Amino acid sequence: MSQSVVDVCEVEPGIVQITMQDRVHKNTFSEELVCGLIQAYETIHANPNYKVAVVTGYDSYFSSGGTREGLLSIYEGREKFTDVNIYSLPLNCRIPVIAAMQGHGIGGGFVLGLYSDFVILSRESMYTANFMKYGFTPGMGATYMLPKKLGFSLAEEMLLSAGGYRGAELEKRGVPFRVLPRDEVLGQALELARQVAEKPRISLITLKDHLVKTIREELPFVIEQEIAMHETTFHQDEVKHRIMELFGK
């Protein structure tokens, strides 16, 4: 997979690193990135030696969420965000996943990181659940994962306001994640990965299964609710106008 926009590499025994590096599309959910992520997690699932995965981006981008074309396709009723499920890949990965979010996490890209078992943020980077910026209600399980990982009050603020928050601000707001200078994020993630990789693989898998069991069970019901909200909110003319005018700004 070395030529893919998603690179998979065993950086140390038992530690596998996924690097999202679609520089052309700035790590939005392009077809190349989506296919690359699915293949990456299939590769991890097939390897009995991996104990922990680290997922990261490139330069100042972790993941930028849906593409303009993808959002317009949902607006037109040709697609749903559930058609290709990449958002819960970290959750359903058998081994623990560490999100080294060294760069911006935007919309679905931020949510994607929150599905990991560990999250490390960058002080300089911007994190936003900006679905409502475009006038449609959140998807990808955001209405469940943000309150679960960040606490209800901050999550409600982020989801309703669609505002952007630097990692440094989120640190002050008391997010339960490590927040470090960008150039220290990946190193800290690898150090954490080493601590995890010291444990027996079967014990890691067993404990993760136990810890995320409730999330895995409750998430499908939340996704159904988000799809229903999309039927109400996504097909407004104003949404199309906002996507056309505001995307990437």
Q: Where are the alpha helices (DSSP H) in the chain?
A: 31-46, 68-75, 89-92, 108-114, 142-150, 152-161, 167-172, 182-197, 201-211, 213-233, 237-246
Number of H helices, E strands in the chain: 11, 10
Average pLDDT, integer, range 3-17: 94
Structure tokens at 4: 């893919």
Does this model's pTM top 0.85? yes
pLDDT in tens, 110-140: 999 999 999 999 999 999 999 999 999 999 9
Please give the distance of CA 56 from its chain centroid, rounded to a whole number.
10
pLDDT in tens, 212-244: 999 999 999 999 999 999 999 999 999 999 999
Confidence class for position 2, pLDDT limits 50, 70, 90 = very low
- What is the rounded CA–CA span in Å between residue 237 and residue 216? 34
- Tell me how far CA of residue 223 lies from CA of 67, 113, 174, 219, 229, in angstroms: 20, 17, 27, 6, 10
25, 230, 235, 241: the active-site residue: 230
Is the distance from CB of 131 to CB of 117 less than 8 angstroms? no
Question: Average pLDDT over the chain, rounded to whole?
Answer: 96
Name the token pair of 244.
């056309």
CB 36 within 8 A of CB 5: yes
Q: pLDDT tens, 138-164?
A: 999 999 999 999 999 999 999 999 999
Whole-number pLDDT of residue 4: 85
Alpha-carbon gap, residue 31 to 66, rounded angstroms: 10
- What pLDDT digit, counting tens, does each position of 168-191 carry? 999 999 999 999 999 999 999 999
Q: CATH for 6-181, among 3.10.150.10, 3.40.50.880, 3.90.226.10, 3.40.50.300?
A: 3.90.226.10
List, for residues 43-74, the tens digit of each pLDDT value.
Answer: 999 999 999 999 999 999 999 999 999 999 99
Q: Is 104 an annotated catalytic residue?
A: no
Which H or E run contains 10?
strand 6-12
Structural tokens at position 136: 């449609």
Question: Among 207, 82, 222, which Cα is nearest to 145's?
Answer: 222
